Structures are given as structure tokens and as C-alpha cells.
Amino acid sequence: MEQIIQDIKSRLTNFQEKYNEGNLYTIKSYVKEFFVDEEDTSFIGAGLDSWCFGLEKIINMIKTYWEDESYYLEKIELDIDKAIINVENSVAIIALHGKNTRNIKEKKVCEAVIEQLSKTLNNEDLSKSDLIRLSVKITETLNHIKMGEEYVFPFRITIVMVNDGLKWMIKHMNLSYCADDLNMLSNENIDDKYKTIRIDNKDSIEIREVQEVLKTLQEAYDKRDASLVDSYAEELLDNNELTSIIGTDSGEVFYGFNEAKELLESDWKYWGDFNLNRENSFISILNNIAVVCSKSLIKFTWPEKRVCSWPKGALEYYFKENKTNTELLNLMLESINNALHTLLIENNKNTLSMRFVGVLVKRDGKWKFNHMHFSDCVDNTPARLKD
């Protein structure tokens, strides 16, 4: 098994090295070298519409990443040594972190915010919420400037690879950034682009079995009953030390059955109302492995008392982090403005578009999740690493 893991890591290293060459003349051969040439092979990028099935679309998306720096993926650094790799026969489930690093001049950062200021303040429909959002943006920008001109944007990746008898090839890949600024949606008349993907699932006994597991997962999130976490975890999660769940925040990575169970409990206690949209899920069966991908929605309820307590929690955290007085005041201004902005939009915009990727393993006739990846859709500047 150790040799297999090393083979996979070597393959990922080679994938990264050739990706960072950014050679547009060889992009087709590059994609064919690493991705399975089948119409349902997938690469899901960070944005709302970054769903690519088949090599031609994957080639076009990678070409866009190499040419357009606004996607923050022209170069990547993968933490391959710390990757979680679970090998099930000829299929490998991989969870790992990566980052994009770049130098952004203070002048460029300021000019972008000033442009946003001008555009927003000249809007005829300018609102109180817009003004507070601008205040948050200015505070964030000033804090970023103090951190220097090297920006690190961390991301997370789920990869499912298959062995074709000669080498390991990517069958499914999902990349996500943490969001720096969430695009909240109105609760009514949500456009289909936030809910559906174009899929062509082939009906089979295995797919129907996986759909039943998704039904149970949705049932668990609908009930949000923490007293049932043990029974649902037993029914839904693969009891394996290599089981992993990636949450929406950069620090939310949970390993093993117990930590995965704790995340479910935390979600049901503190998170929003999550809708998996299982009726429109893409499902790929690879022997005893199933890969599930779907656009999802989450609706938040923010009672005023709870939102008003957020800055207190932030203050306690920053005290523990030994921030200087100036740093603390700037960060608390940002926290208070964020809370005020949330209270202002709560009545009409509290739904968020997300993606869900799950990888299930079939053991003793039962499908259970070995890996889950929850992520926000990020089409603008992702969250910067602050620590």
C-alpha cells in the first residue's frame, strides 16, 4: 500500500509541475495525460458555472485559468505530502490543500476599491446596506495593506483517481476557495442557474441505492436533531480513519469518523438549512465507489440577538491571538460592520448558493460517505490567508 500511495503522490507532483508550466501549445496533451478520456470525467472549479464534463470543456477551463489571473489559479502549490489518500482497489479518494501566491501592489489594491466605491455610490438604488458593505470593504482593504503585498489564497481539492492498469488518472476533481464576500440571494424566485446542473445520469441499481443515501442525508439535515447524530453517523459515514469532511471555512477540515460526526452535529446546531438538491445530483459509479456532485442552497436564519453576539466572540478570539491595539480595533470595526450588514439584509436576502461533492464507499452491501466537500461558489476574489 505504501508504494501505491507514493505512486499517487508522484503522479500528483507531475500533474502540478506540468500545470505550472502553463504551456498553451501542449494543453490538450497535458489534459489527456492526466484525465480519463470519458464524457462524464469532471472538473469542478470554484465559480458558480465552473462545471466541466468531458475533456474538451476541461481543456477550455484550464486554458482560462492560465490566461486570466482573476481566477487566482494560473499557478498552484499543492500540499501533496499531507494529502489524505484512501485507496479502494483501483480507485483512490484524495483530499488535499493548495494555494495560489502572488504579489499585489498597494496601488492596485486601492484603485480597485476606489473604483468599487465610485460605482456603488453612483448607483441610484444606493441603500444603507450598500454603505455598510463599503465600510466593511474599506476596513478589510486597510487590514490587507498592513499585511504586506504578498497574498496567499488557500484552496481545497477533492480528487478521485482510477488506475487504468498502467498509471493513475483523474476521473473527478473539485476545487474550492473560501469566500471573502458572499453573494446572498433573495429568498424568492431563485434562478435555476443556482440550483441545477446539466446531467445525464444512467439509471442503475447502484445509482438508485446512492440516491436513497442522499435522501437520508437530506433527512438528517432537515431534522437538525443533535440527539440523533450517533445513529445518523452510523448510517451515513464510513467508519474509517481516512474518512474526511471539508467545510466551507479554511479551518474546517475533519478527519476520521469521530471528527466527521462532530461536524454533522455542529452543522445541525449552528449552520443554516441545507438543501442538497439531490434530485439534480450527478452520480458516477466506479466499482464500489460512488461520486456525487450537486449545486446546493443554504438558507440562514439570523436572530438579532445572535448576530449582535458575533463581535463579542470576535473580540475574545483576537484577545487570545495577542493582536496589537491597532490591529484589534481595525478587526473589530470590520466585525461590527459585518454584523450590521447581516441584520440589514436578513429580511430579504439570506440564501446562499453552494456546491456539494461526496464520495461513498460500498461495504457489506451498504453505501456510506468516505468523503464530503461543502463549498461556496466563489467568482470574485477569494479569501486571503491571514495567519
pLDDT band at 7 (very low <50, low <70, confident <90, very high): very high
- Let me know: does 371 contact 358? Beta carbons within 8 Å: yes
Give the residue-averaged pLDDT of 330-350: 81
pLDDT tens readout for residues 222-236: 999 999 999 999 999
Does the pLDDT value for residue 192 go beyond 90? no
Nearest Cα to Cα of residue 276 among 179, 361, 338, 210: 210
Does the pLDDT value for residue 143 go beyond 90? no
Side-chain half-sphere exposure of 32, counting CA atoms within 13 A = 5
pLDDT tens readout for residues 299-327: 888 788 888 999 999 999 899 888 888 88
This prediction's pTM: 0.91
Does the pLDDT value for residue 257 go beyond 70? yes
Give the residue-averaged pLDDT of 106-113: 92
All structural domains of the chain, each given as residue ranges with its CATH number in brackets, are 2-103+150-301+348-376 (3.10.450.50), 106-148+303-345 (no CATH)
Rounded Cα distance, 360 and 378, in Å: 26
pLDDT the model gives residue 239: 94
Does the pLDDT value for residue 338 go beyond 90? no
Helices (H) and strands (E) in the chain, counts: 10, 15
Does the pLDDT value for residue 189 go beyond 70? no
Buried b (16+ CB within 10 A) or exposed e, 55-77: bebbbebbeebbeeeebbbbbbe
How does the average pLDDT of the chain come out, rounded?
91
pLDDT the model gives residue 241: 92
8 phi-psi bin (left φ>0, alpha ψ -120 to 50, beta other): alpha
- Let me know: does 75 contact 100? Beta carbons within 8 Å: yes
pLDDT tens readout for residues 157-188: 999 999 998 999 999 999 999 887 777 777 66
pLDDT band at 196 (very low <50, low <70, confident <90, very high): confident
pLDDT tens readout for residues 37-51: 999 999 999 998 899
354 contact partners, CB below 8 Å, separation of at least 6:
248, 274, 295, 296, 297, 298, 374, 375, 376, 377
